[in-house]
């Protein structure tokens, strides 16, 4: 499935990441990790989690990425959402969120969360700020292993997905 949008006379396509994208993903995520905006990811982690990632490309070049990680039958997380310098403000992050929300719906998830330094971005997309302790799957499954665990300054946001009832 591909979603396209016209923004500033350029066409952007959201698609699943491929093996060829991994070096790009690593470089892009590393820029944000060095700034302290993301946790670092190794190349090995990116290859292992490649199926979680989507990229936005223009002229066959990826310019943004984001991932959907699944914790339980009900909860997924948006991770590694970044846009390359020079492409900010074009709505590419929003495109990725919409694609990840579509994927979460298709999988049957009931909730989608993120830990972020920019909760306002997510609020515009109907996410609500929630206490981290309302997400024990994330906190005790992943966060507890993080070096920032005792002084985490990220904000938890949550989107409740509307499940479509099964036909009877």
* pTM of structure: 0.82
Q: What is the average pLDDT across 89-113?
A: 94
Q: Give dist(CA 26, CA 129) in Å, integer.
A: 29
Low-confidence winner among 18-32, 67-81, 139-153 (lowest mean pLDDT): 139-153
Residue ranges of domains in the chain, CATH in brackets? 3-160 (3.40.630.30)
118 against 6, higher pLDDT: 118
Instruction: Read off the pLDDT of residues 103-159 as tens digits, 9 standing for 90 and up.
Output: 999 999 999 999 888 899 999 999 999 988 888 665 545 544 454 545 666 789 999
* The pLDDT value given to residue 11: 82
Expressed in percent and rounded to 5, the helix, strand and coil fractions of the chain are 35, 30, 35
């Amino acid at each position: 499935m591909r979603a396209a949008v016209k923004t500033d006379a350029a066409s952007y396509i959201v698609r699943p990441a491929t093996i060829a994208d991994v070096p790009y993903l690593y470089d892009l995520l590393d820029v944000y990790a060095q700034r302290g905006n993301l946790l670092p990811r190794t190349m090995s982690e990116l290859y292992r989690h490649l199926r979680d990632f989507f990229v936005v490309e223009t002229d066959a070049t990826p310019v943004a990425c984001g991932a959907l990680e699944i914790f339980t039958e009900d909860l997924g997380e948006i991770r590694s959402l970044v846009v390359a310098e020079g492409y900010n403000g074009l709505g590419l992050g929003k495109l990725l969120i919409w694609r990840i929300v579509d994927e979460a719906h298709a999988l049957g998830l009931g909730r989608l969360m993120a830990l972020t330094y920019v909760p306002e971005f997510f609020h515009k997309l109907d996410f609500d700020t929630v206490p981290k302790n309302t997400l024990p799957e994330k906190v005790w499954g992943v966060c507890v292993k993080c070096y920032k665990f005792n002084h985490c300054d990220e904000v938890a946001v949550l989107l409740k997905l509307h499940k479509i009832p099964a036909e009877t």
